């Protein structure tokens, strides 16, 4: 029997891939079939871009008054809450993450639409004083145009929402290319936008692999902006491809995030949050606290306790009520994480716990990996430099505040980091010196739709969320009107000289 799927959403209609190809999505927790989707290629992406271009140029969405666009986004948020369970289930089946985490993700998605819905109506532009009473000068914010949105597999709908909501609030049209591993909630989201009556061509979806379905979004001259969340090497390729048409580029890339613990920190809270920071979603989090940087005087006690707690973490699938974290996304990814740990050990790191897949029938068919702690590491070793994107934390120590800062900043990345201390002055001093886009003091992981998110250094370009997150999808235009035009006399009218 030939299989079919029509999961490409182009110009308001559901279509199969032009090639007829499909992909089977399997639950990483047990290998069971989760979904069958269309496998788009370049031709499909080209049609989606053409639809988004035509919709933008027709003004069908960009000419809708901003407060009305905002009201639409608020309806999206409300409807997402209605459909929360269905969305969360689809997210868990694609990613293997626990249902409780997927439900939180869906709440965060709804909160993002709420935030940009409210912000859309508050964008009124700005009057500029030109220093001349005869001049009326103002700044207006217009939509950038057609946006290519490319997203990863770890927080599939949340990362898409951080792009879709501001793009729609600004009046843009878009083509979304979710990770080929986790397309299901993007499909559900397009159905929701269609149900709520978004005009055809404003939102378009291509499900398929990056090199074929994704690449045209950075190369095509009809795309005005490409916003990408994913790995550093892919980000470099996208930036290079986008340069050919000088389109706007926003990049949200990886991190190698330091979690700095001073001796005067609340010990139990710091240990518990170091565990969360490193092992939530099995470390498949861009901002994971993968580098524990701990003051020498408490390091032994701190790491012993962290090892004890890590060994207690219960692994399991989305519907296992006992589970505290889930599998890695794929066999290939687990192999990559394991090779990374092995390389660290070869370079001299000491394996304190983990370093292998768990054994037992319960884990058969899934891609689980034990929470892993490596100490005796040095700055410059590959496990300290490269992103693992798995449940692996390394331990470095320091004796002075300066050394803590230097160690925490010793990375090409700069996404996030944390400082643990009960000395308020030290907390602010260190937070101020860390070269990372988000710094938590005595906490780990929270993010807010109203607070900018993004990276210093090679963690990216631009910001998502907050008012800057909307500005990424806007062009500022200066309109200057002289209400009393005068002859400038700059160039003489030589015909009048005789
Ligand atoms: N900074 C952040 O907020 C943030 C958030 C989530 C994930 N991440 C990062 O994402 C990475 C993990 O995600 P991943 O493995 O899906 O990343 P990835 O770079 O492999 O893929 C991301 C997306 O890019 C697409 N893609 C691949 N090659 C492409 C190409 N040539 N042209 C266009 N699109 C292409 C993929 O199909 C996928 O949709 C980690 O490095 C993580 O730190 C960052
Ligand atoms: C940005 N965040 C934390 C939601 C997901 C990072 O992988």
- 249: CA distance to ligand 1 center in Å? 14
Name the 3-class secondary structure at 25: strand
Work out the average pLDDT over 454-459: 98
Say what the ipTM of the complex is: 0.98
95 Cβ closer than 6 Å to some ligand 2 atom:
no
- pTM comes to 0.97
pLDDT in tens, 363-379: 999 999 999 999 999 98
Which residues have C-beta within 8 Å of that of residue 197, sequence separation ≥ 6?
A: none
- 155: CA distance to ligand 1 center in Å? 11
- 93: CA distance to ligand 1 center in Å? 19
Rounded-to-integer distance, Cα 293 and Cα 124, Å: 45
> Residue 399's closest CA among 263, 257, 258?
263
Q: Which of 101, 212, 219, 252 is catalytic?
A: 252
Strands 416-420 and 392-398: unpaired
- What's the pLDDT score for residue 91? 98
Going by alpha carbons, the residue nearest to atom 1 of ligand 2 is 286
- What's the pLDDT score for residue 1? 53
* Closest ligand to the CA of 464: 1
> Residue 356's closest CA among 376, 336, 377, 371?
371
154 Cβ closer than 6 Å to some ligand 1 atom:
yes
With b for 16 or more beta-carbon neighbours within 10 A and e for fewer, the 33-63 pattern comes to ebbebbbbbbebbbbbbbbbbbbbeeebbbe
285 Cβ closer than 6 Å to some ligand 2 atom:
yes
231 Cβ closer than 6 Å to some ligand 1 atom:
yes
Is 452 one of the annotated active-site residues of the chain? no
Ligand 2 closest atom vs CA 447: 3
- 105: CA distance to ligand 2 center in Å? 10
For residue 2, pLDDT beyond 70:
no
What is the percent of the chain where pLDDT is above 70?
A: 99
Supply 202's token pair: 């404003």
Burial environment of residue 493 by CB neighbours within 10 A (0 to 12, 13 to 18, 19 or more): exposed
- What's the pLDDT score for residue 85? 98
284 Cβ closer than 6 Å to some ligand 2 atom:
no
pLDDT tier, 3 (very low <50, low <70, confident <90, very high otherwise): confident
- 28: CA distance to ligand 2 center in Å? 19
Mean pLDDT of the chain: 97
Strands 258-261 and 416-420: parallel
């Amino acid at each position: 029997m030939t299989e079919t799927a029509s999961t490409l959403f182009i110009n308001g209609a559901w279509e199969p891939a032009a090639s007829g190809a499909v992909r089977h999505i399997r639950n990483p927790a047990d290998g069971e079939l989760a979904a069958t989707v269309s496998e788009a290629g370049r031709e499909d992406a080209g049609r989606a871009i053409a639809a988004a271009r035509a919709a933008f140029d027709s003004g069908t969405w960009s000419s809708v008054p901003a407060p009305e666009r905002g009201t639409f986004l608020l309806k999206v948020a409300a409807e997402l809450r209605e459909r929360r369970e269905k969305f969360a289930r689809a997210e868990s089946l694609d990613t293997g993450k626990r249902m409780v985490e997927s439900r939180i993700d869906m709440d965060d998605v709804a909160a993002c639409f709420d935030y940009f819905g409210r912000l859309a109506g508050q964008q009124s532009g700005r009057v500029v004083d030109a220093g001349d009473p005869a001049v009326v000068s103002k700044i207006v914010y217009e939509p950038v145009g057609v946006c290519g949105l490319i997203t990863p597999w770890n927080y599939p709908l949340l990362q898409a929402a951080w792009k879709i909501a501001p793009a729609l609030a600004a009046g843009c049209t878009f083509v979304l290319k979710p990770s080929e591993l986790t397309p299901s909630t993007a499909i559900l989201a397009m159905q929701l936008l269609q149900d709520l009556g978004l005009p055809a061509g404003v939102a378009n979806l291509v499900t398929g692999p990056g090199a074929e379905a994704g690449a045209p979004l950075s190369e095509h001259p009809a795309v005005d902006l490409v916003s990408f969340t994913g790995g550093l090497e892919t980000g470099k390729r996208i930036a290079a491809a986008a340069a050919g048409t000088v389109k706007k580029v926003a990049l949200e890339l990886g991190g190698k995030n330091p979690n700095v613990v001073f001796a005067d920190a609340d010990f139990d809270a710091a240990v518990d949050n170091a565990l969360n920071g490193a092992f939530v979603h099995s470390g498949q989090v861009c901002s994971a606290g993968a580098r524990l940087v701990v003051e020498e005087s408490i390091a032994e006690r701190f790491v012993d306790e962290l090892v004890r707690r890590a060994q207690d973490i219960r692994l399991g699938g989305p519907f296992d009520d006992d589970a505290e974290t889930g599998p890695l996304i794929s066999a290939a990814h687990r192999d990559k994480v394991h090779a990374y740990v092995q390389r660290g050990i070869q370079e001299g790191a000491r394996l304190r716990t983990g370093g292998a897949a768990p054994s037992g029938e319960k884990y058969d068919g899934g891609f689980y990996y034990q929470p892993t702690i490596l100490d005796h590491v040095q700055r410059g070793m590959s496990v300290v430099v490269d992103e693992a994107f798995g449940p692996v934390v390394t331990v470095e120590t320091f004796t002075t505040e300066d050394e803590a800062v230097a160690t925490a900043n010793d990375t090409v990345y700069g996404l996030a980091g944390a400082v643990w201390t009960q000395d308020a002055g030290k907390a602010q001093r260190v937070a101020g010196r860390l070269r990372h886009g988000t710094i938590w003091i005595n906490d780990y992981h929270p993010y807010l739709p109203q607070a900018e998110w993004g990276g210093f250094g090679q963690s990216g370009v631009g910001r998502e969320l907050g008012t800057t997150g909307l500005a990424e999808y806007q062009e500022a235009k200066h309109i200057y009107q002289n209400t009393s035009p005068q002859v400038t006399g700059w160039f003489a009218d030589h015909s009048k000289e005789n």
